[in-house]
Amino acid sequence: MLSYLQFYEEFFGPLRLFQFISIRAIGAGVTALIFGFYLGPKIIAFLRAFGARQAFRDKDEVGELANLHQAKEKTPTMGGLLICITVVSSVLLWAEPNVYVVTALVTYLLLTIVGFADDYLKISKKNSKGLAGRYKLIGQLLTTGIAMFILLGPLSEVLTGADGNATGSAGKMRELWVPFFKEMLLENMSVVFCFLFFLVTLTGSSNAINLTDGLDGLAIGCTVTVALTYAIMAYASGNFLISDYLKVSWIPGSGELTVVCSALLGGSLAFLWFNAHPAEVFMGDTGSLAIGGLVGIIALMIHQPLTLIIVGGIFVMEAGSVILQVASFKTRGKRIFRMSPIHHHFELKGWKETKVVIRFWILSLLFALLGLATLKLR
């Protein structure tokens, strides 16, 4: 919305600053942070009054872990609503509504609804099961289909942004780029292959962040580094000179996703303020599923989905530990870890919750730096 002020610079010169993505990205991040600080106590109070308490598994299911997390039982969940409000409002205020921004917001909002339904069922039924897995998958399938329709369909020729440069998404989104290669790997992928690739990326990212959200500040702290990394990558992909220098895919109009990532960064920092140990609120599936989907769709739109494996290394570790644990138990009848996801393994080994979280934050930062290094290692 504020980006349109650039067209009135003849009346007031400084308004030309709104044409710069960097200025608007900073504005979006600061706005989300301020909104989050202001709305946080109000939303937390509302969730407490609503009785939105996290449903935990009992001692028969998780053993000693139930004792370690007993103090968390009165903490409200659904805090993802706070992140959603701050991010969406900041993006609407600062970003140009082109095809990439609209796709990111639609994906985020749809998965917020899926996560909200899951959390609501957990609260109303007072158990940890929530929405059945098949219904979550249906929600992710629909979200993927709608995102692809926006990017590949007729809307892509309408949502070109204020300056009309966000064109060609229907062709660009059917290209496959991989790290360490200067040229694209595949051109003009079939719609079916493209859909499956989008679906795997979105569901994988969404579910991985959901699994990571098990300790105070863990998932949202790692989201901060991921959001910052993809803000840099989005800026590079939308800038012809930078993308040409780095030999990465140039996607006209995708630079606006820098504003989206910056809003996510600011909203995540604000939420971390309330989610730091001891947490005043949990994000719940309302936050984790949606954030995972948002990160996934942004990575896809800037042709960096495979770097998500590196940048989101913590999320990959968490999801991988669950897969390995289940596979080992079913094939050998033995567990690899004391408990999965892996952060619980370290808890049961005697690490304090804060130690696990801070060490995982450090690893997340290192993974982010490795991910950024792939931009030049080509």
Q: What confidence tens digit (pLDDT) does each residue in 319-340 have?
A: 999 999 999 988 888 888 888 8
Q: What confidence tens digit (pLDDT) does each residue in 135-184 have?
A: 999 999 999 999 999 999 888 887 777 666 777 777 888 888 888 887 88
What whole-number distance in Å separates Cα of residue 286 and Cα of residue 282? 10
Could you tell me the sign of the dihedral formed by the alpha carbons of 157, 198, 234, 251, in that order?
Answer: negative
Q: What count of Cα atoms within 13 Å lies in the side-chain half-sphere of residue 103?
A: 37
CA distances from 150 to 44, 301, 313 (A): 34, 12, 29
pLDDT, greater one: 341 or 62: 341
What whole-number distance in Å separates Cα of residue 236 and Cα of residue 296? 17
Q: Quick one: pLDDT at residue 169?
A: 77
Three-state SS across 23-70? HHHHHHHHHHHHHHHHHHHHHHHHHHHHCCECCCCCHHHHCHHHHHCH
What whole-number distance in Å separates Cα of residue 189 and Cα of residue 184? 11
Q: Quick one: pLDDT at residue 128?
A: 65
Q: Quick one: pLDDT at residue 60?
A: 47
- Specify the amino acid at residue 209: I
- Closest to 342 in 3D by CA, of 364, 320, 365, 310: 320
Spell out the long-range contacts of 335-341 with Cβ–Cβ below 8 A and sequence spacing 24 or more: 339/62, 339/65, 341/211, 341/212, 341/214
Strands (E), the chain: none
User: Mean pLDDT throughout 66-90?
Assistant: 84
- The fraction of the chain above a pLDDT of 70, given in percent, is 92
Query: Domain spans of the chain?
Result: 21-373
User: Mean pLDDT throughout 26-55?
Assistant: 91
Both structure tokens of 137: 């998958």
CA distances from 223 to 103, 208, 368 (A): 20, 12, 10
Global pTM? Answer: 0.93
Both structure tokens of 313: 């290394």
Both structure tokens of 40: 């946080």
Cβ(256)–Cβ(21) below 8 Å:
yes
